[in-house]
Structure 1
Amino acid sequence: MTTSQPSGLPVLLAEIRACRVCEPHLPLGPRPVLQAGRGARVLVVGQAPGVRVHETGIPWNDRSGERLRAWMGIGPDVFYDADRVALLPMGYCYPGRGASGDLPPRRECAELWLERVLAELPNIELLLLVGAYAQQHFLANERRATLTDTVAAWRDYGEHRLPLPHPSPRNQGWFKRHPWFERELVPVLQGRIAAVLGQAR
C-alpha cells in the first residue's frame, strides 16, 4: 500500500520557514517571514524584514506596515488574513545593516522559493510591488530608469499591478517631494483594494 506524500501550500510554507540556506550570512540568524493562503486575492511583494519584523515574526509589523495599510485603506484584520492578502518579501529573512540602511534582500529566496509560492496562489487579482527590488523582479524591462519614474508611470502597468515606493519613515522626504503620490495614486490603490476584496470604501 502506498501512502500519499504531503503537498500544497501549507507544506511549502513549512519548508520555507525551516530554510537555513543563508544562515552563515544572516547576522540575527534565519527567521523566514511571509504570509500566504490559496484564497488570497492581493499579493504585496516587499523587500525584506527589518529588525522588528524579525523579532516578532509578523510581516510588516512596524511603522512601514502602518503606512502601507493606510495606503491600502484596510486594517490589520484584513491585512493579516492570509486568505485575502499574501505578503511576500523578495528576501524572507532580515539581511543585516549596510552603510545606508538595511542590506538588499538575499537572492536565494527568490531563486529557491518564489515561483513555487506563486504557483500556489491561483486567485491573485492585484499585485502591489513595494520598492525597487520587487519592481525589478516583476516588471523587469518594463521598469523606468528610477523608482520615482516607475511609480509615476503606474497607469502603464494595467489594472492588476501597482508599483509603490517603500512606506518606510526613512522615505518621508520622498513623500514630501512627490505629493502627487498620495493625491493621485493612493485613492486608486484603495479603490482597487476595495474592489478586489469586496469591501466598501
Structure 2
Amino acid sequence: MSDYITLLDQVRHCRLCADQLPQGPRPVLQLHPSARLLIAGQAPGRKVHASGIAFDDASGARLRDWLGLDATQFYDPTLVAILPMGFCYPGSGPHGDLPPRPECAAHWRVPLLQQLPKLQLTLLLGQHALAWHLPAAGNITQAVRNWQAGWPHILPLPHPSPRNNLWLQRNPWFAAEVLPVLRQRVQQLLGTS
C-alpha cells in the first residue's frame, strides 16, 4: 500500500514539463489499488486545472451518464482510477486544447498501471489514449466501431467532450449498441445500480 501512496505523492509533485505548461503544473489523477475500472483520458482542460478535480466539466457529466455512475461512485478511487495521458493542462491551440505532454506517459504510466492489480476494464477516451494502449487500432471511429475486439477488458470510446456532439449525431449506433453494454459491465464490476 505504501508504494502506491509514495508514487501518487511523487506524481502530484511532478515538475517534468513545468516550463512547457502555460499555467504551471497541477497534476490531476485518481488511483487506488482496489480500482476495477480505469479511465484513460487525454489531459485536464482549463476548468479541471482550476478545480483540481478530474472530469469536473461537461465531459465528466456526459461520461458519468455513459457509465451510469453518480458523482460519489465516479470519484471513489477504490472503484474508479482516472489516469489521463497527461496529468496537467497542456494549454490551448487553434483547435482546442493542445495534446497531452508526452513526458507524463513516458515517465509515469507504466509504474502507475502496475499499481492496479484488480483492474478489469480500461476505457480509452480519445485518440491519445487509444494510440498508447492500442497503437494498431486505427483512428477513434474505427476503434469504437470495432469495440468488441478487446471486450470485456478494454473499450475505446470517443471523448465525451461537447466538441464531439457531431460525431455522436453521425454515429447513433454508439448510443444504441455500446452504451447499454458498457453500463451493464460497469454495474457488474462496481456493484452499482
TM-score by length of 1: 0.94
Q: CA RMSD in A?
A: 1.0
- How many pairs were matched up? 193
Residue 8 in structure 1 maps to residue 8 in structure 2:
no
| CA distance in structure 1 between the aligned counterparts of 2:58 and 2:11, rounded to whole angstroms | 26
Gaps of 5+ in 1: 1-5
Q: Does 1:113 align with 2:108?
A: yes
Secondary structure of 2:82 counterpart: strand
Contact 2:69 2:192 in 1 (8 A): no
- The structural deviation recorded for 1:158 is 2.4
Kindly name which structure, 1 or 2, has the bigger radius of gyration based on alpha carbons.
1
- Corresponding position: 1:174 with 2:167: yes
Superposed CA deviations along residues 117-149 of structure 1, whole A, max 9, x for unmatched, are 0111110001100101111110122x03x2111
Q: Aligned with 2:134: secondary structure? A: helix
3-state SS of the aligned residue for 1:39? Answer: coil
Q: Which residues of 2 match residues 27-42 of structure 1 at below 5 A?
A: 27-42=22-37
Deviation at 1:86, TM superposition (A): 0.2
What CA distance in whole angstroms lies between the structure 1 residues aligned with 2:133 and 2:44?
19
State the percentage of identical aligned residues. Answer: 49
Q: Report how far residue 7 of structure 1 moved.
A: 4.3
Match in the other structure for 1:73: 68
Q: Which amino acid aligns with 1:192?
A: R
2:141 aligns to what? 148
State whether structure 2 residue 55 is matched by structure 1 residue 60.
yes
> Helix, strand or coil: the match of 1:53?
helix
Question: Which residue does the alignment assign to 1:130?
Answer: 125
TM superposition outliers: structure 1 runs of 4+ over 3 Å? none
CA distance in 2, matches of 1:199, 1:35: 19
Q: CA deviation at 1:103?
A: 0.4
> Which residues of structure 2 form unaligned runs of 5+?
none
Q: 1:92 aligns with which of 69, 75, 87?
A: 87
Q: How does the TM-score come out when normalised to structure 2?
A: 0.98
SS in 2 for 1:89: coil
Tell me the residue number matched to 1:3.
Answer: none
For 2:192, the equivalent position in structure 1 comes to: 199
